[in-house]
Structure 1
Amino acid sequence: MHARSAVFDLYGDHLASRGGWAPIASVVRLLDAVDVGAPAVRTAVSRLSREGWLEADERHGVRGYATTPRATRRLASAWDRIYRTSPPTWDGRWHVLVCEHVSDRSRRDRISASLGYLGFARMAPDTWVGPRTSDELESALEGQASRSFEASFDGDGAALAEELWDLRELAAAYDDFVGWADLVTSAVADLPRRPREAFAVRTELVHEWRKFLFRDPGLPPEVLPNDWPGHAAAARFDELTRELRPAAGAFVDGCLRGDPDVIGVPHAALESSD
């Protein structure tokens, strides 16, 4: 796990609900549980700060970092998608985006990656299609001129989805995730009683699941196969992260208090700690 991703996952999955701030020493302790060393953590935090995602914030004489408003919005949006807290509705219309051609290749690649993250697929060199628009669309385009509109597709929506997105590869990835998650959790069946290990496994689960944000456009059920494996994968992810949440939360709270040694906390205490 790269340090940058680990820091993002930590702030999004745990620290956002705890004020979005943590002492740098606690961040180092927490990510040591997923084998990310202190130098790598400090370098990642420094870079994220320079990029405008984190900001130095000393509280009660303790040096730490908090998420910036920009990061808070991005993390809230990402975790809403990860846990599907507000499932989007679909009225049968597609969002079509026509961009002015970008001549600079690196900028073009960045915009393409950002649009893919927001659920758009390229239909033509400068034309993109997605199941819905996004509040982050303006920032994704980096000021590039564009026009957008809603449109109905005169044809089979499922066929269009299959043409624009590689649904076979995505389905295989969901099947692989379920198989991997089952292997990991069966090997450590007593995780709910082991806070440090529970935090590490939950972090890895979230990290792997978050990758689907860059691969899955969030297509509506109306255009997906009836036996779409993404539904079963999401159910498995929800089950496992919910089971690990109390122990993982106990470990986070222990590290934030400056006492990471929470292994052996009684199960009842874990259940009331999150």
Structure 2
Amino acid sequence: MPQPLSRIVSQLKSEPSRTGSLIVTVFGDAVVPRGGTVWLGTLLEFFAGLDIDGGVVRTAMSRLTAEGWFERTKSGRNSFYRLTRRGEQTFAAATRHIYDSPPSEWNGSFELLLIGSADDREQARTALRDAGFGSPLPGVFVAPSRIAVPDAAEGAIRLQASAGSDMARRLVAESWALERTAEAYRKFSASFAPLRFTMDRGEALSDSQAFTARILLIHHYRRIVLRDPQLPVELLPKDWPGRQARALCGEIYRLLLPGSERWLDDHATNEEGPLPPAGAALTGRFAGDAEPL
């Protein structure tokens, strides 16, 4: 295993168990584009390559299924998993957030939501955060206009407000913890830039290593970008590290895609046999992103 990939795997093992989160990454990144159903044995084979015990994987799958993310079917002694309808809807939104290019322009206005009840605020907080809203004050949520308001906040008072660039940047600084997100992007780039350098030098990865690297790449990137409101460029600090991290992620992803897809061709199955090939949407991921400097 190339040293940069070995270091990334070692870093994963040094963290608290994230098996459930890794399963979510495998489904969203690799299984959904190939029909959405996979044999448990395929997952066990992947996790065995990370030295994660099969019992830990089975426990994580049972927990995610009990929480309503997956549904299980059986054929003989074999178990197969696919997303529930709720899981499909959540994954569809996350897929757009991870792989589609973020907005580049701002129209000069914000969407303001006012929620008076503390209970209502608490119930809507996670959905609003995931949709890209920040909060400068208790009960006040803000996002650049054109962001869809989630159903959880349908009872909020809605206002449109315009702001000049200086005032807008102050509002952004008070509404989102951007420096924490920026630091996470810097750490991501520092961890994965050596892997790109290794591949640029022509050091080949096996198909298994390519799939492992692809899943860990998206696993780390997903954890940052889904917390990133992806504000228009005009509202972000200068030298925003998210741009470089996204370009780096897209470049590595494209390099890993052929080998990782071959691994899926050879090892991933569902009830009917090998997983069907992915559609054109897979190769369109990270399309249009600039190359990292």
The TM tier, using the shorter chain, reads 0.7 to 0.9
Question: Cα offset for 1:103?
Answer: 4.1
Structure 2 CA distance, aligned partners of 1:211 and 1:237? 13
State the 1:184 CA deviation. 4.2
State the partner residue of 1:265: none
C-alpha change, 1:235 and 1:159, in structure 2 (3 Å) is same
- 2:240 and 2:80 map into 1 onto residues whose CA distance is 43
Length, aligned pairs only: 253
The two structures have a TM-score, normalised by structure 1, of: 0.80
The equivalent residue for 1:22 is: 38
Between the aligned partners of 1:98 and 1:242, the Cα distance in structure 2 is 42
Q: Deviations over 1:181-200 (max 9, x none)?
A: 12344567667541111111
Give the equivalent residue in structure 2 for 1:175.
Answer: 186
Query: Is 1:3 paired with 2:19?
Result: yes
Distance in structure 2 (CA, Å) of the matches to 1:86 and 1:219: 8
Q: Is 1:41 aligned with 2:53?
A: no
Which residue, out of 125, 128, 132, partners 2:138? Answer: 125
Name the amino acid aligned to 1:57. Answer: T
Partner of 1:264: none
Q: Residue 11 of structure 1: CA displacement? A: 0.6
Unaligned runs of 5+ in 1: 259-273
Counterpart in the other structure of 2:88: 72
Show the counterpart of 2:127. 114
Residue 280 of structure 2 corresponds to none
Q: Which residue of 2 aligns with 1:164?
A: 175
Calculate the aligned-residue CA RMSD, in Å. Answer: 2.9
The counterpart of 1:254, out of the listed 239, 255, 266, is 266
Q: Report if aligned partners of 1:191, 1:198 keep a CA contact under 8 Å in 2.
A: no
Rounded Cα–Cα distance in structure 1 between residues aligned with 2:234 and 2:102 = 18
Q: Is the 8 A contact 1:23 1:65 kept in 2?
A: yes
Unaligned runs of 5+ in 2: 1-16, 271-282, 284-293
Q: CA deviation at 1:208?
A: 0.9
Q: How has the CA–CA distance of structure 1 residues 178 and 135 changed in structure 2, closer, same or farther, with 3 Å as cutoff?
A: same
Q: Work out whether 1:209 is the aligned partner of 2:225.
A: no
Shift of 1:220: 0.6
- Distance apart, 1:206 and its partner CA: 0.7
Q: State, as a whole percentage, how many aligned pairs show the same letter.
A: 28
Matched AA of 1:114: A
Superposed displacement of residue 32, structure 1: 2.5
Counterpart selection for 2:71 from 45, 50, 55:
55
**Cα deviations by residue, 1:150-183 (Å, 9 ceiling, x for unpaired):** 3223662222212322333332322221111123
Q: Which residue of 1 aligns with 2:117?
A: 101
In structure 1, distance between residues paired with 2:101 and 2:167: 29
For 1:244, the equivalent position in structure 2 comes to 256
Residue in 1 that maps onto 2:163: 153
Residue type of the alignment partner of 2:171: L
Counterparts of 1:88 and 1:46, CA distance in 2: 41
What residue is the counterpart of 2:291 in the other structure? none
Matched residue of 1:34: which SS?
Answer: coil
Residue type at the aligned position of 1:174:
Y
Residues 163, 71 of structure 1: alpha-carbon distance in 2 compared, 3 angstrom cutoff: same
